[in-house]
């Protein structure tokens, strides 16, 4: 079993530098969460051994429609590394991604460790420090986004890069439930949503991952960054696109996807 999982992990790592690979159905059943997270963990350890710094986690599948599409009843997560961050207003090199999409999220920083696998929602909320608008740039090493739940989990939650706003705010002062979200591409509205679209409330997303990681023995630590999940539909981007997100009462951030050819 370990040999198979090591092979899948290496295939996914190689796909960052080469062409995308076929779906992993010959190696992982579509709903094999245990095997998929084991592959993700192998690659996380591999990258940390190479010197990449783990700075937090991303939460995915927070929309009911996407979970139904993949046949699952819970979100998923992936690792965030420091070298995945693009400065607000920065540029993403198209050579570093395959077929990227962008989605607006609320990011949180954690103020203290969350090691209790049975932590209450109130305890988790109290451990959050600040909130900030964010953009997650998702990508897939699986060809043409033909993913199952196991594919996306093994592929580090279909992660790629992220952008954080530069003005974090005390989260308890914010309307994280009914805040509106607008994603603009080249000044035109491309996606709209709200805080409630993220698992009913972004706090629910943080609560889920805090308990999940504590159960796995890898709890959230003070200073960790959490991308809490999409507030609306993701948008496909092409070279030259300028993407800006606005979240009511929270702020904005942006990036440009290379230059027009």
Q: Tokens for 222, please give them.
A: 């003070």
259: confidence class by pLDDT, cuts 50, 70, 90: confident
- Mean pLDDT over all residues of the chain? 95
Give me the pLDDT at residue 70, please: 80
Q: What is the pLDDT of residues 145-191, one digit of tens each?
A: 999 999 999 999 999 999 999 999 999 889 999 999 999 999 999 99
Whole-structure pTM value: 0.95
User: Where exactly are the structural domains of the chain?
Assistant: 2-257
| Strands 251-257 vs 90-92: parallel, antiparallel or unpaired | parallel
Model confidence over 83-123: pLDDT tens digits?
999 999 999 999 999 999 999 999 999 999 999 999 999 99
Helices 2-15/33-49 angle, 10° precision: 60
What are 258's two structure tokens?
Answer: 């290379």
**Tokens 């591999």 -> residue:** 46
pLDDT value for 50: 97
- b/e string for 38-70 if b means 16 or more Cβ within 10 A? bbbbbbbeebeeeeeebbbbbbbbbbeebbeeb
What number is the average pLDDT over the span 233-254?
97
Residue-level pLDDT at 260: 64
100 CB-near residues (< 8 Å, 6+ apart): 92, 137, 138, 139, 160, 236, 237, 257
Which CATH number, 3.90.1200.10, 3.30.200.20, 3.40.50.1980, 3.90.850.10, labels domain 2-257? Answer: 3.90.850.10
Angle in degrees, CA 51, 53, 54, rounded to 5 = 135
């Amino acid at each position: 079993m370990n040999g198979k999982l090591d092979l899948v992990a290496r295939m996914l790592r190689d796909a960052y530098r080469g062409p995308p690979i076929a779906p992993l159905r010959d190696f992982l059943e579509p709903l094999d969460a245990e095997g998929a997270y084991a592959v993700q963990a192998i690659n996380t350890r591999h990258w940390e051994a190479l010197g990449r710094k783990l700075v937090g986690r991303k939460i995915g599948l927070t929309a009911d429609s996407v979970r139904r599409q993949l046949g699952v009843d819970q979100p998923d997560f992936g690792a965030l590394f420091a070298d995945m961050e693009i400065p607000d207003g920065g540029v993403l090199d198209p050579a570093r991604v395959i077929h990227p999409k962008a989605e607006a999220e609320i990011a949180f920083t954690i103020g203290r460790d969350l090691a209790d696998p049975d932590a209450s929602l109130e305890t988790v909320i109290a451990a959050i420090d600040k909130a900030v608008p964010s953009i997650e740039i998702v990508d897939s090493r699986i060809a043409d986004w033909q993913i199952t739940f196991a594919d996306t989990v093994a592929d580090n939650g279909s992660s790629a890069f992220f952008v954080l706003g530069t003005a974090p705010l005390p989260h308890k002062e914010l309307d994280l439930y009914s805040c509106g979200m607008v994603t603009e591409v080249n000044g035109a509205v491309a996606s709209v949503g709200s805080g409630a679209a993220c698992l009913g409330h972004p706090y629910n997303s943080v609560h889920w991952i805090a308990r999940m990681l504590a159960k796995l023995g890898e709890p959230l630590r003070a200073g960790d960054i959490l991308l809490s999940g999409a507030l609306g539909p993701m948008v496909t981007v092409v070279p030259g696109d300028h993407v800006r997100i606005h979240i009511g009462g929270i702020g904005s951030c942006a990036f440009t996807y290379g230059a027009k050819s």
